[in-house]
Amino acid sequence: MRPMQPAYDRDARLAAGRREAGVDLAASVMANVYWWMSIGLGLTGVVAYAVAHVDVLTEIIFGTPMVFYGLLIGELLLVIALSAALPRISATVAAAMFLLYSGVNGLTMSVIFLAYTETSIATTFFVTGGTFGSMALYGTLTKRDLTGWGSFLFMGLIGLIIAMVVNLFLRSELLYWIITFAGVLVFVGLTAYDVQRIRALAVSGNFPRDKLAIYGALRLYLDFINLFFMLLRLFGRRR
């Protein structure tokens, strides 16, 4: 006859099993998130490079202010629409909107190939990848709850946007560098915060997994792109 297992031992094993299942589920969701994010970044890069090397497209986009600013407004509306509609639309539609946004973003991002050398763009991309990867790993492994970072980072992001708009008129070099360094800190922090938040949503089960992959990909895509822009302001060599 087998001895009865103590209740606390059974509870501990059950808790450990739930934690392990949660870790596996989060890892599976994050694999899909990073896959979609990579697809989005790849599409953006291909479109940006192609447009920058086709004179007709460059002239249409950057030679006509209405077209360029229309694309910028279109990008913003796409992000807002995708975020707001995600609970109601299918995962297929969400993926299509994400890819559309990535492509449109590539149209406007082609300007970096006109402003910076391709060598410095490539170097900055790898620096961004390393920085992003390090903070994503931190967000994955840390036991610290990063929830408190959310409001602080959001306020920092709003401050950055306001400062950038103001500097369009002031054209202050000092403010330019303050924005750049502050931007690096904000998007580095957002990377770790968003990774932990997406993993928590995966474990909670309150977000459909297929839609969560697109939601997470969009958030991390935006973190990566904005971090890349800020680092390009630091390390990019202008033509």
Q: Which residues, at least 6 apart from 45, have a Cβ–Cβ distance to it below 8 Å?
A: 106
* pLDDT tops 80 at residue 6: no
Rounded CA separation 160/156 (Å): 6
Residue extents of the structural domains in the chain: 7-235
75-79: average pLDDT = 94
Rounded CA separation 42/102 (Å): 9
52-69: average pLDDT = 94
Q: Give the pLDDT confidence score for residue 205 in this predicted structure.
A: 83
Which residue shows structure tokens 């909107």? 97
Which residue(s) pair with 238 in the sheet? 116
Return the structure tokens found at 78: 């796409």
* Summary mean pLDDT of the chain: 91
> What is the tens place of the pLDDT at every residue in 19-39?
555 578 899 999 999 999 999
pLDDT over 70, % of the chain: 90
Q: Give the pLDDT confidence score for residue 116 in this predicted structure.
A: 96
> What is the tens place of the pLDDT at every residue in 207-227?
888 899 999 999 999 999 999
* pLDDT tops 50 at residue 17: no
163 residue type, one letter: A
| CB of 91 closer than 8 Å to CB of 209 | no
Tallying the residues shown for the chain, one arrives at 239
> What is the tens place of the pLDDT at every residue in 110-152?
999 999 999 999 999 999 999 999 999 999 999 999 999 999 9
